[in-house]
Amino acid sequence: MTPMLEAADTAHIPRRTAPPTWLVVSLACAGQFLVVLDVSVVNVALPSMRADLGLSASGLQWVVNAYAIAFAGFMLLGGRAGDLYGRKRMFLVGLGLFTLASLGGGLAQDGWQLLLARAVQGLGAAVLAPSTLTLLTAAVPEGPARARAIATWTAVGAGGGAAGGLVGGVLVDVLSWRWVLLINVPVGALVLAGSVLWLTESRAGDGRRLDLPGALLVTAGLGTLAYGISQTEAEGWTASATLLPLAAGLALLGLFLAVEARTAAPLMPLGLLGRRPVASANAAMLVSGSAMFCMWYFMTLYAQNVLGYTPLEAGLALVPSSVAVLVGSKTAPRLMRRAGARTVAVSGTLVAATGFAWQSTMGPHGVYATAIMFPGILMMLGAGLAATPLAALATAGAAPAEAGLLSGLINTSRTMGGSLGLAVMSTIAAARTDGADGPAALTDGYAAAFRTSTGVLLAGALLMLLWLPRRNASAKRNVSAR
């Protein structure tokens, strides 16, 4: 019996012919691609948005942060709602919200309309993202096939982040900034139609209600914490505008843990965090994600602000890195069968650290091959190798009632790690440049961020080596030979 999701999981739902596995995987991955793409696709469009809508510098920052904060804040709630009310239903609700908000953002005539649309996009993404992984694991039994499916999901998600710069550059250069949002509408509508027709429903089916106090506390805590993190670049780490929301967010999360310990049907059973695979994989994803997420941001800035690339040229320059993350993600399952999930995760993180260390030697007159392409390939090859085993460990062996929650948790770890890492690395880069905007000063700042990320990844590799389980029953099934 598959411990993640079984036919019993759908006992209360009318049966229908199961769709082909490849179709379920394709639809789930398409939803994940849209979610991750929108984290990065707007970066190259920000100057055009500012000019067209008259946004201030702080308003421009919120074009990115409104999405990220809503995404991180509602992720656990979205995962739990999928468990209780149906994964297909929540997939459709999330995708519908995301698609409608994309239309609203693309048609925005004022800055506040764009920011509101981005926040609703983030909410839709938070409902959608956990369901993409649980629908996939419901369709594929544990074992090598599921490891390959998770690798595809990981590769598509990483590819969405990687493709953001290229897609945004093409759309801005050929059409306008509005199309970085409007492009989601036909794609979202197509995936929505296919999901209505072909996906089958699954849920925990235990009759429990949603833990509303826990949902409100964790959402408010994560959202407030993410807001505090977003303030660091503009205000610094010691300003009251940063410290107050950070402290409030931590206090709300502490209260959430206290409430969950006393609730009969908690949003997050604290016993999950006592499981070594779950706790270690999420901690590792948080740490490694804090370094790897900022790669695209700083590489795009380096290409445009220092080397003089256009948005389209900067996107094209990162294509080899995008291919590398796909190769790493798809290669990981084979390596996991031979060496185990922990070894592959540690090895991938060390490969990425090598690329980050190489990138930290960048100069203001760098040559493409050695200043962008080869270090970028190493960084993203390692990212792909590491993410697949971490996602597999975090979700392997979960009971049906926990599947959506664990999917939401691993997505939350990655998103919060990325948000925190980007804030920290941006502060380090800004402190190094000390207000200067010449190519040499900017390069020094970006290099400092890559050096710091190298140290974070090395610490992450050590954490994985010491804490990730060598092998447990679920891991053995996931990495066993065909």
- Which pLDDT score, from 0 to 100, does residue 254 have? 92
Highest mean pLDDT among 223-227, 317-321, 475-479: 317-321
Please write the tens of the pLDDT for every residue from 193-210. 888 877 777 666 555 677
- Which pLDDT score, from 0 to 100, does residue 77 have? 80
Does the pLDDT of residue 465 top 70, yes or no? yes
Does the pLDDT of residue 48 top 60, yes or no? yes
- Which pLDDT score, from 0 to 100, does residue 379 have? 95
Helical packing angle, 403-433 and 294-301, nearest 10°: 30
Report, in this order, helix, strand and coil percent for the chain, each rounded to 5. 80, 0, 20
Highest mean pLDDT among 131-135, 349-353, 438-442: 349-353
- Which pLDDT score, from 0 to 100, does residue 348 have? 96
- Which pLDDT score, from 0 to 100, does residue 268 have? 75
Does the pLDDT of residue 102 top 70, yes or no? yes
- Which pLDDT score, from 0 to 100, does residue 444 have? 93
What proportion of the chain, given as a percentage, has pLDDT over 90? 24
The closest alpha carbon to 345, from 229, 469, 246, 247, belongs to: 469
Does the pLDDT of residue 11 top 50, yes or no? no
Over range 20-40, report the average pLDDT: 76
Over range 100-119, report the average pLDDT: 91
Give residues with Cβ within 8 angstroms of 59, minimum separation 6. 50, 111, 115
- Of the pLDDT bands very low, low, confident and very high (cuts 50, 70, 90), residue 404 is low
Highest mean pLDDT among 41-50, 242-251, 289-298: 242-251
Does the pLDDT of residue 59 top 80, yes or no? no
Please write the tens of the pLDDT for every residue from 236-261. 778 898 899 999 999 998 998 898 88
Q: What kind of fold does domain 20-201+267-479 have according to CATH?
A: Growth Hormone; Chain: A; (1.20.1250)
Does the pLDDT of residue 43 top 60, yes or no? yes
- Of the pLDDT bands very low, low, confident and very high (cuts 50, 70, 90), residue 4 is very low
- Which pLDDT score, from 0 to 100, does residue 22 have? 73
Residues 148 and 142: their CA atoms lie apart, in Å, by: 10
The answer to whether residues 432 and 444 touch, using CB atoms and an 8 Å cutoff, is: yes
The answer to whether residues 189 and 99 touch, using CB atoms and an 8 Å cutoff, is: yes
Does the pLDDT of residue 17 top 80, yes or no? no
- Of the pLDDT bands very low, low, confident and very high (cuts 50, 70, 90), residue 386 is very high
Does the pLDDT of residue 392 top 70, yes or no? yes
Does the pLDDT of residue 298 top 70, yes or no? yes
Residues 187 and 200: their CA atoms lie apart, in Å, by: 21
Over range 35-44, report the average pLDDT: 74
- Of the pLDDT bands very low, low, confident and very high (cuts 50, 70, 90), residue 476 is very low
- Which pLDDT score, from 0 to 100, does residue 213 have? 85
Please write the tens of the pLDDT for every residue from 112-166. 899 999 989 988 988 888 777 777 777 776 667 777 777 777 777 666 766 777 7
The answer to whether residues 208 and 84 touch, using CB atoms and an 8 Å cutoff, is: yes
H runs (alpha helix) in 86-208: 87-106, 111-139, 144-174, 179-182, 184-198
Does the pLDDT of residue 351 top 90, yes or no? yes
Average pLDDT, the chain: 81
- Say if residue 330 is exposed, middle or buried (CB neighbours under 10 Å; 0-12, 13-18, 19+): middle
Residues 439 and 431: their CA atoms lie apart, in Å, by: 15
Taking the domains of the chain in order of start, what are their residue ranges? Answer: 20-201+267-479, 211-266
Handedness of CA 7, 13, 17, 22 (dihedral sign): negative
Does the pLDDT of residue 289 top 60, yes or no? yes
